[in-house]
Structure 1
């Protein structure tokens, strides 16, 4: 099996929306306590021979290959990765997998990515940030909201701020369109280079 971490620099160039079509990784953040265990789910939207798992450690500034789990239930671990700590379990749907982490320690904190091969490259999920703390913060009780009706003037002001032209609506929409256009630039550049190579081959002969 080829070392998958050598291709990470390539997969980072793939637009994120394309990976999201094939991988669904939720939730985005998990908070757990030391010595406990947790699981990080990842849903595949296409048939694959297996799934890779990586971890980015902000503290050590290190991207680490954890393991590769095949659909046959076999696992190949990265160097210095404890097999009794990490394991992958398949859900009943046979398209959802979860990375189980036991004996949690603050050093396990980081962003965990599930990954799959696609066209000789690796696609990364959106990542799940795991934060391991010695003590969980106390649960705060929410103050009940008063059901007293608002004055008519207040209602009109709130309605005007939440209208279809509100900045809360069009600013995220414009940002999403801009990110989509920026993600298409690498694809257009590659197609241009491929087209130029084909033209040179044809006219070179």
Structure 2
């Protein structure tokens, strides 16, 4: 028995020393409110005679045996451990156990370990940190500043190109040709109007 507790002390002082693939414990952290309840899961990778549950209190520096549950469902509680507070449930299909803790208060804070004994050695799970608070913190809300919409200016292709450099010949050559054609058309119209005015003037003076 002394050898078993010596091995347990080494496990607590050297994190990961006794953690192995025999146990899978979840979750890693639990934040719960006072007077509520919670549960911790522990899955065994192979069949064992039963499962131990321990609690390490950092504040009181106490490693406390809580309860042992065997494959037949029989439970053995540690000294001064309330059966109304702690209970163990076993799921035979997945060979897993769950520790249920009710009526939570500040004294329940600590790291909970599931454990199996093999060859006079105590193998621990990864541990679950339980923190009990009176009021749970509210989830933080991230506020996003409204995006200011700036008016979009419509600019011509030539102007857009001029901001980067001179207009392309493919743009200004058709424009120049169109302007020249318009100018010739205006000259022709002006010439016709001049001839028409000349005829009217001659006709009036002949009368």
**TM class, shorter-chain normalised?**
0.5 to 0.7
TM-score (norm: length of structure 2): 0.62
Q: Which runs of 5 or more residues in structure 1 are unaligned?
A: 145-205
- Whether the 8 Å CA contact 1:55–1:111 is kept in 2: the answer is yes
Counterparts in 2 of 1:65 and 1:5: CA distance versus 1, 3 Å: farther
Aligned equivalent of 1:106? 106
| Distance in 2 (alpha carbons) for counterparts of 1:95 and 1:17 | 24
1:1-205 residue pairs with structure 2 within 5 A?
Answer: 8-9=8-9, 16=16, 19-91=19-91, 93-142=93-142
- The separation in 1 between residues aligned to 2:18 and 2:46, in whole angstroms, is 13
Question: CA distance change for structure 1 residues 5 and 94 in 2, over 3 Å: closer, same or farther?
Answer: farther
Q: What SS class does the counterpart of residue 31 from structure 2 fall into?
A: strand
TM-score between both structures, scaled by the size of structure 1: 0.63
Query: How many residue pairs are counted as aligned between the two chains?
Result: 146
CA distance in 1, matches of 2:70, 2:57: 25
Cα shift at 1:18: 6.3
Higher radius of gyration, 1 or 2: 2
Q: Distance in 1 between matches of 2:22 and 2:133?
A: 32
Distance 1:94 1:14, change over 3 A: farther
Q: Which runs of 5+ in 2 are unaligned?
A: 145-207
